[in-house]
Chain A
Amino acid sequence: MGRDPRELTAGACLLGIGVLALWQGSDLELGTLRQMGPGMLPRVLAVAVCLCGIAIGGRSLLHPARQVAGAAAPSDGDAPQVEAPRSIWGALRAPVFLVLAATVFGLCVRPLGLVIASPLAIVISTLASPETKRLESLWFALGMTVFCVVLFWTLLKLPIPVAPWLIGY
């Protein structure tokens, strides 16, 4: 009786999200059908999501040997099957560094501007891939920063701080 752990996790996640939404929305007015309050649709949807979660998790317990249709298929026709990475670190490397890169960018862009935040974020993000070459990444980061400043600030005039410590904006 082998359970499909992925399906079970999927169902559990959905259930968790639904419960979270129910808890957050518990103090909202439901109103009546004639005059729907703010809480009615969120609650209905949250309950529905919970039910889906229970159904998916329950289904995995009841039909252990069945291959769920399309469960192993990639979601884009052009990307090959996702391989199971060799280790936990292998699996976490990309998300950790990408999130770190985005976080650093978010925190640095206002005080330090694009000229600092960009290369920092780029260098950190290159660590997400095992194929990175250090010197190449540095040059690429610098080049990319110049390109971004020209494109986004000079050409497109987006309101992003470029170097507040240097030129005041």
Chain B
Amino acid sequence: MSDLVHNLQLGFATSLSLLNIVLCLGGCLIGTLIGVLPGIGPIATIAMLLPITFNVDPTSALIMLAGIYYGAQYGGSTTAILVNIPGEATSVVTVLDGHPMARQGRAGIALGIAAIGSFIAGTISTLVVAALGVPLSELALWFGPPEYFSLMVLGLTLAIVLVQGSLLKAGAMVLLGLLLSTVGADLETGQDRLTFGFDELSDGIDFAVLAMGLFGFAEVLRNLQSFEVQPQVHTTIGRLLPSRADFKQALGPILRGTGLGSILGILPGNGAVLAPFASYALEKRLADDSSRFGRGAIEGVAGPEAANNAGAQTAFIPLLTLGIPPNAVMALMVGAMTIHGIIPGPQVINNRPDLFWGMVTSMWIGNLALLAINLPLVGLWVRLLRVPYRLMFPAILIFCCIGIYSINNRPGDVLLMAGFGIVGHSLTRLGFEPAPLLLGFVLGRLLEEKLRQALVLSRGSFLPFVTRPVSCGLLIVAVAVLIIALLPAVSKKRAQVSLT
């Protein structure tokens, strides 16, 4: 316990430096901004801002990028409540009761309870991250190469299963991502692999190029081809603070949502997106009068909002303790860490405690900042919704181009990014999800390295993967998850859930 206090002290000392506070605030603001704007999401933004973070030290870089991620959760609910359009995939559920509340003139209360609920959830889940951090990483020190391999297999399996759509297609995407990660010089022999004779590819496909192309560029393409109507905001905001009665009604859902979100956020495979849905379903079932839901029930806003913020915080746990990214955004963080020379894994807590604890404490600072600035700035966000997309997308494009060029000063990178943009767009049109591809790509090198190490240690035998207890357990879970997802009842449920 005193260890925890000591660690938190270290964390606050790191995160309360001027630079880190500025970056945290900046990240939260940018995050809220893109959360509000429907045309762009945290994945694309973080990919675009990766090159900018190269000049600062890794802790500061990650603090800012993290701020963007959970800031976007706050912003997405603003659009959902005011405009009936979810700004982010996780705000889809907030639309159901948030917008009816706005139509009843209670928009301010909805926004207020969303912000307060998110802050409570953020505080509690930050404590969860802090509490679980050290034990989990100690557990991971028992991990040898076979265990790492099996853990990554589990992570990728969950990624396949929790993503919407055909399992086979998601699996194909993971495999494609793994294949792309092998492009470049082989780790052990230095031989060029799959480079088609291009020297530029000797270093492998640049992570930022792939990320920006697949998510930034492709996102712009997709939006341009779907003829979105400009959102209309036509409700008054009204009072911002919920009444005591409102708050009493909302407290239970907030706490339950926090619990759900905290657990689901840890699950690899974008479990955090499921959290608001689960919370809504739970609250509806627990409510005395479930017919209120869909018509402006405050529980329908409080629970899911708390859940999605808690999920966003705890999604950092597998990243910071085990080095396994649970979703595409965390995969970007892995990329950012690697670029700064930090190998993600359980050793991060011991080798760079300032990074871990600095991030944990800055998450709480960020949540506090978001609570304080979001509500007064609602008017600003509403005005920004009026910016037409025809002006936004050239800005996004030029940021992508400049960002990519600044990494290696290679014009070829910009072209490669455009190429991946086309690829990403084609993938979506063909019914594939790009997120598992990114996950596969990020984990590919590490996966291969661990596999090779394990096979060398076992002299070519695959037996240790199943005889060592932890590894065996992980693989069994992976297989079980796959089987469960293939059961007809479950696959119908997966088809019904419409989310990212």
User: Which residues of A line the B interface, CB within 8 A?
Assistant: 6-7, 9-10, 13-14, 17, 21, 24-25, 28-29, 32-39, 41-42, 45-46, 48-49, 52-53, 55-56, 59, 68-83, 85, 91, 94-95, 98-99, 101-103, 105-107, 109-110, 114, 118, 121-122, 125-126, 128-129, 131-133, 136-137, 140-141, 144, 148, 152, 156-160
Contacts and interface: CB of A to CB of B under 8 A. Distances in A.
Interface in B450-465: 451-452, 455-456, 459-462
A18 to B, nearest CB: 8
Contacts of B146: none
B235 to A, nearest CB: 19
B224 A75 contact: no
Which 6 A-B residue pairs are closest in the complex by CB-CB distance? A34-B460, A77-B89, A70-B165, A106-B414, A38-B186, A106-B411
A71 B165 contact: yes
Interface residues of B, number: 98
Nearest to B35: A78
A24 B186 CA distance: 14
Interface stretch (B280-288, B310-318, B351-359, B429-437): B429-437
A71 B394 contact: no
B414 A45 contact: no
18 contacts: A36-B452, A42-B182, A42-B194, A48-B175, A49-B176, A69-B492, A70-B164, A70-B166, A70-B494, A75-B435, A76-B89, A82-B428, A118-B398, A121-B401, A122-B394, A125-B397, A129-B390, A133-B390
A66 B428 CA distance: 20
A148 B456 contact: no
A56 B168 contact: yes
B398 A121 contact: yes
B253 interface: no
A37 B224 contact: no
Contacts of A107: 411
Interface stretch (B134-142, B334-342, B365-373, B416-424): B416-424
Contact of A79 (B182, B228, B413, B451): B228
Majority secondary structure of chain B interface residues (helix, strand, loop or mixed): helix
Interface stretch (B5-13, B14-22, B80-88, B466-474): B80-88
Nearest to A128: B224
B222 interface: yes
B402 to A, nearest CB: 6
Given A36-B452, A148-B398, A160-B406, A78 B168 contact: no
A110 B272 CA distance: 42
B430 A6 contact: yes
A32 B182 CA distance: 18
A105 B401 contact: yes
Contacts of B164: 70, 73, 75
Contacts of A59: 168
B433 A75 contact: yes
Contacts of B460: 32-35
A24 B390 contact: no
Interface string B371-411: 00000000000000000111101110111111001100101
A139 B428 CA distance: 33
B178 A45 contact: yes
Given A75-B434, A77-B273, 10 more contacts: A29-B189, A45-B178, A45-B179, A71-B431, A73-B498, A80-B226, A82-B222, A102-B421, A106-B414, A160-B405
Contact of B451 (A41, A46, A52, A122): A41
Interface in B77-106: 85-92
Nearest to A81: B226
A75 B456 contact: no
